[in-house]
Structure 1
């Protein structure tokens, strides 16, 4: 997807959404989400989980609020796997699937491919702001520490160029935030810590495959990554959301995103 063309043709609603973000970091997150949504729209079907705050009533359903049973969403298995989430909650998830595909085509290590596959899964399904931290936290019990670390740090690293791998500061950020924009201090600190870390390149390659993965017309299936997931994701037998892990509530929130309580 051409970012310059996208930014020049954003809808009024998209512009308002981005402008309403409080910090520049949140605005950057909003741009990435808007592009991901647009990519999904251009390729195939609408999001399963794109739920309006005040939904149209379902014929015959007299409930005022939904609680653990939303008829607008596909029913999840009792012990859902990561692949179940991709198919029934994240679908079509083209951005992360294309990012992982690009990393795979480029011959990168499976940890990098796995990090690319997971790096933005919370954006359209749980929370957008500080998404790198949220995504890293929700997968931390199930992946190698290097993978969760790379996911967390990619949020900061995307603001800082690294010409050694061909990663330039995104032109879209210059046009949107202005040439004089400086990342928030916590992002600067995270970058300084990351660039001296032994796993720096793992996270840096997530940003590289993140930036160039928007390829319009390409359809990628989560089943293409079944073996990589099997080797790199510790699937709890109770199912994601029901294993009493410190992050189980995050996965339940995506199973039942519209619970009243």
Structure 2
């Protein structure tokens, strides 16, 4: 169940791993319905979303506009397949709506839009999410709210100058109610991330962010980092997540171009078997 109070000091890591596995199963159901999608990124970020929605975030699907809720912003809008999975698992969507992912007229477009319950920002124009997160965090502070803002963005978005401007702004304004979740999975639409963004954690630290780097598919490491991010010390927080595209399904991990994956019916059963074998 989602939490509407402060998260417990100790995470139930085993239960969160089960949630992450369920998110991966739901994503595969969506991919089969559409035949294609951004499944590799979704499988990689599933652990983080499970840790957020079933442990760390203050949120309530029965009252999605609660002004005291924590906000989660998905800057990489094409990760929508993972977002819809967690929104269904958390109670914002019905599971039987998930196979409409990416279909004409669906509330679940292939890049996030505000037609979907539980979506905070429109995604798709990369490099924009963190700037919006800084603004939200400032607004909440001005309102005297203790709610936090969590913003996921990718290593590919570090190609964008707007992301670095937002990093400078967050540190300048001391928005310690903001947590950046940087998905460093090493892939972009045209291949590997090649711009000289490394070392990411050291650069974010130099920009004034309280930064940690973890294996983004290690639930214990994730929950430990999220717990540490609760400290209000005048610095925005950043967690660099080293995730594996396709995590949980080795055949997808092994694909040389995994940014956008097409899944034929002849592959689907094998992928699901791999998912169960590697849970």
* Larger helix share, 1 or 2: 1
Q: Same fold judged by TM-score > 0.5?
A: no
Higher-RCO chain (CA-CA 8 Å, sequence separation at least 6)? 1
TM-score bracket relative to the smaller structure = 0.3 to 0.5
The TM-score normalised by the length of structure 1 is 0.33
The TM-score normalised by the length of structure 2 is 0.31
Query: Is the radius of gyration larger for structure 1 or structure 2?
Result: 1
* Larger strand share, 1 or 2: 2
